[in-house]
């Protein structure tokens, strides 16, 4: 069996165990993970039905626009039935009916990925199979994706390396007068030239008082002497993304900035040391939060310590207060504590970490010391 066949076999067994007849996937990370199909969500519907083990049809059934049939058929690493439809309202409806008949889904229980599945597909299913019950199967789909195999971990490690090559190249461009947008654009060029497949998410570059905005888009603000500059960036490698944040100072760093930076760096290290198999994710968050609270900045750390990472930039496990996740070997997540002083500055240090059999390992290696450019 190839990797995708193994994943498909595991998924089909899990669906049967959950009492589902199968699941429906549309373009996105889960479709790629389980089938190898890389395509995008469009106005035209692409839907794959993956039957549970024991369902009367033995293979997956894929509804595709007719002009995409040859492309997607070539990507499939296992046997599946493709149902093409013509690109018009009549053809689409007829194709959907034919696809659903081939899936043998007039009724029953079918899982969908609740964060991805669209009203467009739900409405069409309601028209053609009103007795069909749709249920979230997010936990099943992500249960496999959350634990990374060795090759997936190496993809994320390589994505981190490419990100750091680009980030290191940015140092010569950080100077007074350069805008956040210009720095964002330059980073993306450097990442692609380093060999990245693309970017895992929209690169964030914020400076000065805007650095206190945790996820603000870059603006035309020009850097000034004494500014902090925060880069939250990630290159992609073979579909997998890194997610790294580093904070720099322009020309000089104030005593306040250095003090805050040291607290965030200590919080990052505390969270890393707390991570390991069997450890609740909330404990990792608490380790970082305790450092920041003791320094008197508890109210300024207003987000979780981290999140899972893989084909999507935000995946389980959630590393935050109240998280019910328990870390286990193969999980990859971020550690990204921060302090944000509204209207003044912000500092965040983010690493990508994998849980090992005995603890945790950083997949990122960019210097944790404050870099004054």
pLDDT one-digit tens code per residue, 227-264 = 999 999 999 999 999 999 999 999 999 999 999 999 99
Note the pLDDT of residue 2. Answer: 84
Does 221 share its domain with 187? yes
Residue 305's contacts (CB-CB under 8 Å, 6 or more residues apart) are 271, 284, 285, 288, 289, 319, 320, 335, 336, 337
- Kindly give the interhelix angle for 138-146 and 3-17, rounded to the nearest 10 degrees: 140
Note the pLDDT of residue 135. Answer: 97
Cβ-contact 368, 335 below 8 angstroms: no
Q: Which residue spans within 66-130 are E strands per DSSP?
A: 80-85, 107-112
Does 100 share its domain with 118? yes
Q: Does the pLDDT of residue 314 top 90, yes or no?
A: yes
Does 50 share its domain with 76? yes
Domain assignment of residue 8, given as a range: 3-145
Note the pLDDT of residue 35. Answer: 94
Does 158 share its domain with 50? no
Does 113 share its domain with 196? no
Does 250 share its domain with 101? no
Does 113 share its domain with 162? no
Does 152 share its domain with 103? no
Note the pLDDT of residue 120. Answer: 87
Q: What CATH number did the domain enclosing 48 receive?
A: 3.40.350.10
Cβ-contact 262, 362 below 8 angstroms: no
Does 337 share its domain with 218? yes
Does 239 share its domain with 363? yes
Cβ-contact 51, 22 below 8 angstroms: yes
When divided into structural domains, the chain yields a total of: 2
- Give residue-wise pLDDT tens across range 126-140: 998 999 999 999 999
Q: Strand order in 198-199's β-sheet?
A: 198-199, 235-237, 240-241
Note the pLDDT of residue 91. Answer: 86
- Smallest CA-to-CA distance from 39 within 74, 79, 11, 7 is with 74
Percent of the chain scoring above 70 in pLDDT? 100
Does 138 share its domain with 151? no
Other residues' Cβ atoms within 10 Å of the Cβ of residue 279: 18
- Give residue-wise pLDDT tens across range 33-72: 999 998 877 777 899 999 999 998 889 999 999 999 999 9
As a whole number, the mean pLDDT across the chain is 95
Distance between CA atoms of 229 and 205, rounded to whole angstroms? 7
Which of 84-93, 142-151, 271-280, 346-355 has the lowest average pLDDT? 84-93
Does 8 share its domain with 130? yes
What is the chain's length? 373
Distance between CA atoms of 250 and 227, rounded to whole angstroms? 5
Q: What CATH number did the domain enclosing 328 receive?
A: 3.90.230.10
Mean of pLDDT values over 325-344: 98
């Amino acid at each position: 069996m190839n990797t995708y066949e193994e994943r498909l076999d595991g998924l089909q067994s899990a669906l049967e165990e959950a009492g589902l007849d199968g699941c429906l996937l549309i373009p996105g990370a889960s479709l790629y993970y389980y089938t190898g199909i890389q395509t995008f969500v469009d106005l035209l519907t692409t839907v794959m039905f993956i039957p549970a083990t024991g369902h009367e049809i033995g293979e997956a059934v894929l509804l595709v626009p007719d002009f995409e049939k040859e492309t997607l058929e070539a990507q499939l690493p296992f046997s599946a039935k493709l149902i093409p439809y013509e690109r018009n309202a009549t053809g689409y409806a007829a194709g959907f009916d034919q696809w659903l008949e081939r899936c043998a889904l007039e009724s029953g229980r079918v899982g969908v990925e609740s964060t991805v599945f669209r009203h467009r597909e739900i409405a069409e299913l309601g028209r053609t199979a009103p007795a069909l019950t749709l249920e979230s199967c997010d936990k099943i789909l992500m249960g496999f994706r959350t634990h990374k195999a060795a090759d997936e971990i190496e993809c994320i490690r390589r994505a981190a390396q490419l990100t750091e090559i680009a980030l290191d190249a940015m140092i010569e461009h950080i100077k007074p007068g350069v805008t956040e947008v210009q720095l964002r654009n330059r980073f993306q060029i450097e990442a692609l030239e380093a060999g990245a497949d693309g970017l895992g998410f929209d690169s964030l570059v914020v400076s000065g008082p805007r650095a206190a905005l945790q996820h603000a888009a870059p603006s035309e603000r020009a850097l000034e002497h004494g500014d902090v500059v925060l880069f939250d960036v990630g290159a992609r490698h073979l579909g997998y993304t890194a997610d790294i944040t580093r904070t720099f100072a322009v020309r000089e760093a104030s005593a306040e900035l250095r003090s805050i930076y040291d607290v965030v760096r200590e919080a990052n290290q505390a969270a890393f040391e707390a991570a390991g198999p069997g450890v609740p994710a909330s404990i990792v968050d608490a380790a970082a939060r305790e450092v920041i609270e003791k320094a008197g900045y508890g109210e300024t750390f207003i987000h979780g310590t981290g999140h899972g990472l893989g084909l999507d930039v935000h995946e389980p496990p959630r590393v935050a207060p109240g998280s019910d996740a328990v870390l286990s070997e193969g999980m990859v997540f971020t550690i990204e504590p921060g302090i944000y002083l509204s209207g003044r500055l912000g500092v965040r240090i983010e690493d990508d970490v994998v849980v090992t059999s005995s603890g945790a390992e950083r997949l990122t290696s960019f210097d944790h010391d404050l870099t004054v450019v």
